[in-house]
Structure 1
Amino acid sequence: MPFSTILFDLDGTLADSLPDIHHSVDNALAEFGLPPVDRSVAQIGVGNGVMNLLTTAVRASFKSAGRTDDADAWFRDNSGKLADRYRQLYASAWKTSTVLYPGVTAMLADMSAREVHCFVVSNKPEMFCRDILSFLGVAERFTAIIGEDSCAERKPSRIIWKYLSEKYSLQAESTIVVGDGQADFAFAKNIPCSVCLVRYGITPPETLEALHADHYIDAVSELKKIIAR
């Protein structure tokens, strides 16, 4: 059965955004007297919400500084202020180098021509999702844009699917989740629906292949072959 609905992740799937995220994390840490972290730390933390990203970064920062005190206890005491500052820094940083992956604009136009309904379901705050997609010129291609703060719970919670399916009369059997992370895979399983994982994104391909998804692609141009099946 051909797919008529696609639920896209954003970071690592539609947009190459890791450099700006990493830069903002390091700047936020520095303002709290913590050393910077390796790009791979931000890579691990992306995809499960801001708090998970910052928790991962603080733990790595403590380790690199040789600190023996409890990183998690520090984070509990400072998480609100750190998250607020990260969001402020990221708001002015994401335009620096965030771009769509090659072929995304053409792929979205093709999906529109096929009358496939496209949605974004991200664990990035909704405001950033909307601003980034608008800046990159593709926001109008999506029926709805969901961020980590759009529903009562974030991805991979089935609450998001319940909201979208009821509001837009979506059917699981004609829906596919397209993403680059474990949260996307889990989201599809919770719906349940088909899932396509992209090997060009933020999560290492070997991590994704261990999940045994229904489909894998190495470029967004390959998606049309899956949709038309």
Structure 2
Amino acid sequence: MLKLVVFDLDGTLADTLADLANAVNYALARQHLPTYPVDDYRHFVGNGIDNLIRVTMADAYTPEGAVRAKADFQTYYADHCTDCTVAYDGIETLLDRLDTDHTATAVISNKPDRFVPEILSALYPRHTFLSAWGQRDEFPRKPSPESLEALIERNGYQKSETLYVGDSNVDVVFAHNAGVKVCGVSWGFRGAKELREAGADFIVNSAEELYRLVNG
């Protein structure tokens, strides 16, 4: 029986793509570098901000430039992280139903930690997550399993009663590295094909399907 559902954030609970793209494009433009269409960011995000800056700077990457770009990203994103960000269909109802069932929920994201609670409180103000972690200095980023293992242990759960839910191959590897089953969501940034090829234990196409899986 599942007692804990841990979610990824970007592409799983929230469509954050436009705000992420706008913030990175702002940082790139500040250094007179080319910017990208929003849809291109589907394949850039998921591995943390440092990797996102590195990939988008491309051949113009330098450590010094990356530091400036990261600072510009964070300054812009702090003011605009919920401008275009929206909840995916059915997720609020899903969280309400899991609350009613006394199924605990948590979040682990590669997004900088400071932005995670702000986005969750904007989109899901009446829901309380057991824990909501972004990228923290105490843990290496996903797909290292340390953050997921720590969250499960600190809250007194077992891996066998935990499900991780995400939208990318990084999420699949992350959960499997921790010895936890993973459900991929097809509505996210990467789609079902990537999740299937990465070896997701389950793939769902709607919040309703995810609820039935948790209660299956």
**Same fold judged by TM-score > 0.5?**
yes
State TM-score, norm by structure 1.
0.89
User: Partners of 2:5 and 2:81 in 1: how far apart?
Assistant: 25
Determine the structure 2 residue equivalent to 1:112.
99
Task: Give 1:38-57 correspondences, 5 Å limit.
Answer: 38-57=37-56
CA contact (8 A) 1:16 1:99 kept: yes
- Matching residue of 1:5: 4
1:42/1:100 CA distance change after superposition, 3 Å: same
- The alpha carbon displacement at 1:141 in A equals 2.5
Match of 2:164 in 1: 177
Moved more, 171-180 or 138-147: 138-147
Unaligned runs of 5+ in 2: none
Task: Indicate which of 92, 95, 118 corresponds to 2:82.
Answer: 95
Structure 1 segment 130-209 matched on structure 2, within 5 A: 130-138=117-125, 140-149=127-136, 151-209=138-196
Q: Aligned residue for 2:62?
A: 75
SS in 1 for 2:203: strand
1:38 Cα deviation from its structure 2 partner: 2.8
Structure 1 residue 41, shift from structure 2 partner: 3.2
Deviation for aligned residue 1:146 = 0.8
Is the Cα contact below 8 Å between 2:185 and 2:191 reproduced in 1? no
Query: Measured at CA, do residues 179 and 57 of structure 1 come closer, stay the same or move farther in structure 2, by a change above 3 Å?
Result: same
Equivalent pairs counted in the alignment come to: 216
Give the corresponding residue for 1:65: none
How much does 1:180 deviate?
Answer: 0.2
Larger radius of gyration: 1
- Structure 2 residue aligned with 1:21: 20
In 2, the alpha carbon distance for the partners of 1:139 and 1:53 equals 31
Distance 2:8 2:130 in 1: 14
Instruction: Work out whether residues 151 and 159 of structure 1, in 8 Å CA contact, stay in contact via their aligned partners in 2.
Output: no
Partner AA of 1:128 in structure 2 = F
Structure 2 distance, partners of 1:219, 1:53, is: 28
Contact 1:45/1:54 (CA < 8 Å) preserved in 2?
no
Q: CA deviation at 1:138?
A: 3.8
Structure 1 runs not aligned, ≥5 long? 60-69
What pairs up with 1:205-220 in 2 under 5 angstroms? 205-220=192-207
**Kindly tell me: are residues 135 and 199 of structure 1, through their superposed partners in 2, closer, same or farther at Cα, counting changes over 3 Å?**
same
Residue deviations 1:48-104, cap 9 Å, x none? Answer: 100111111111xxxxxxxxxx43xx3322111110110111111222110100111
Alignment root-mean-square deviation, CA: 1.5
Structure 1 runs of 4+ with >6 Å offset? none
Aligned sequence identity (%): 31
More off after superposition, 90-99 vs 158-167: 158-167
Shift of 1:27: 1.1
